[in-house]
Amino acid sequence: MSEISIDWVKLSELNIEPTNPKEHDVEKIMLSIERFGFINPFIKNMETGKLLAGHGRKKALELMRRKELTIPDRLKEEDGDWLVPVVSGVQFDTEEEAMAYIIADNRLVELGGWNTPELLEAIAEIQESSPDLDDIGFSERELDILYEDTEGPIDFDTGEPEPTVEFEDNKYFDIMFEEEYQQQVFYQFLDFVKRKYPGETIAAKLNNHILDLLSDG
């Protein structure tokens, strides 16, 4: 079994997996790299020479080069090209097994979800020093929906210990969109539901909308 190592490879020499089904918000990845520098190395399948992880980061770096932006922190430059860190030593014997890893690597992160109250508290603290949240992947509209869908006010930490209250009925779900326009249509639908139906949360308003549809049927 090969040992894991980090090699420095020219960005232009990275080979993507063309059948990778994962889509990427390249602009947001680029903004994140601009803010934090390049942190997460690429992973290459030694059997095929194609990427196992980092397709979105590759597109973001290529976009930065086209925009003639400054080379990100922790990358190198050589002969007019950017050198990027690549994890070598990973090998899958079949293309099917390599694709299974690519899908698992992306899907398992999605399945984790968020602890919404703790997420909103952390973002509120970040906003005190950096109001622009595009580079961490959240839009103002997405945050508005998260705030509205959290039952009751969120009590941020004031330094005084409080008893832990568990809300067993609360459940949070991630919604994935295949195209950007689908997300826009979904937000328009939520705006409609918020205006038309009563309820203290988005969940309650959606429930009233569903009951209304069922009664019409």
Q: Give the global pTM.
A: 0.68
Report the mean per-residue pLDDT for the chain.
Answer: 85
Q: Are residues 94 and 129 in the same domain?
A: no
Q: How far apart are CA 102 and CA 21, in angstroms?
A: 9
pLDDT tens across 158-183, in order? 455 544 445 455 555 667 777 666 77
pLDDT tens across 60-102, in order? 999 999 999 999 999 999 999 999 999 999 999 999 999 999 9
Cα–Cα nearest to 116, from 161, 170, 157: 170
DSSP 127-180: HTT----GGGT--HHHHHHHHHTSSS------SS-------TT--------SSH
Q: Are residues 76 and 122 in the same domain?
A: no
Give the CATH number of the domain where residue 45 resides.
3.90.1530
Q: Are residues 12 and 107 in the same domain?
A: yes
